[in-house]
Amino acid sequence: MDTEIHVSPIPAFRDNYIWAIHNRHQAALVDPGDAAPVRAFLERNGLTPCAILNTHHHHDHIGGNAELVAQYGIDVYGPADEDIPSMNRPVREGDTVTLDALGIRLQVIDVPGHTAGHIAWHAPEQHLLFSGDTLFGCGCGRLFEGSAEQMYHSLEKLARLPGATRVFCAHEYTLSNIAFALTVEPDNAALQARARADREHVARHQPTLPSTLDAELATNPFLRCHLPQLRRHAEFSSGRMVDSATEVFSILRSLKNEFR
Ligand SMILES: [Zn+2]
């Protein structure tokens, strides 16, 4: 049996990625917001789907569930605290899902903030993280259902995973996130290098993802709120004293909402 695991992007809508975790025969689908591109990908590559893994309830992440379940009869794993159509395998933090078809084990991490029940999927042996709309390339998701405190705590949990972990998020937002990050840390050499590399990826119509947690820790302002230069930026922008990393995070998140 071919046990080598690959992760392939299936572009959907304007800037979503549905991630296929697959070997030569079977595929698990992360956040299939649309069934049509998934079906085309499976047929093109001769793959049989074995499961759906959802991160949260937004339509662009779950919109293809019902059609794929009807066609293939696969299980849908997702956050127990969210209302997700076709979900028959609700999971919570600390749960581990083993997909025998792929020989892969995925751990569930609660990461509320973007939505109240948002989860991330972590495959510790393969060093893969599917972060949905929580951690983006050089950014983070908007706060729709949670507080800044919750989101910052969620990002801190992800930041503690091994640095070599590859980060697969659900949107191609990296260049716009980098443009914002450069307003916060114009002198960050790692960020400048990332900007050059990712602009080149986009110019060649290649995904900027996955990144790694090490790269995010070096460049993503939302994972760097504990650093003095980030605090100074937050104080300068807000015109007040700031004394916690969470407050820095909250100010940066508001600035990003208004950015462009
Ligand atoms: Zn979302």
- Domains delineated in the chain: 6-258 (3.60.15.10)
Residue ranges of the alpha helices (H) in 46-93? 59-62, 65-72
CB 74 within 8 A of CB 54: no
The CA-based dihedral angle spanning residues 191, 195, 196, 200, taken in that order and rounded to the nearest 10 degrees: 150
pLDDT band at residue 260 under the 50/70/90 scheme: confident
User: Order of strands across the sheet with 26-30?
Assistant: 6-12, 16-22, 26-30, 48-53, 75-79, 89-91
Give, for 120, the enclosing helix (H) or strand (E): strand 119-123
CB 78 within 8 A of CB 119: yes
Mean pLDDT of 75-97: 97
The CA R_g of the chain, rounded to the nearest whole Å, is 18
The tens digit of pLDDT for each residue in 114-161 reads 999 999 999 999 999 999 999 999 999 999 999 999 999 999 999 999
Q: Which residues surround ligand 1, an ion (CB under 5 A)?
A: 58, 133
Q: How many secondary structure helices (H) and strands (E) does the chain include?
A: 9, 14
Mean pLDDT of 81-91: 97
> What do you get for the CA distance between the two ends of the chain, in Å?
50
What distance in angstroms lies between residue 232's CA and the mean position of ligand 1's atoms?
A: 30
The confidence score (pLDDT) of residue 223 equals: 98
CB 167 within 8 A of CB 140: no
What distance in angstroms lies between residue 152's CA and the mean position of ligand 1's atoms?
A: 16
Whole-prediction pTM value?
A: 0.97
The confidence score (pLDDT) of residue 2 equals: 55
What distance in angstroms lies between residue 41's CA and the mean position of ligand 1's atoms?
A: 23
CB 230 within 8 A of CB 237: no
Cα 129 from Cα 223, distance rounded (Å): 16
What distance in angstroms lies between residue 187's CA and the mean position of ligand 1's atoms?
A: 31
Q: Please identify every residue annotated as catalytic.
A: 56, 58, 60-61, 114, 133, 171
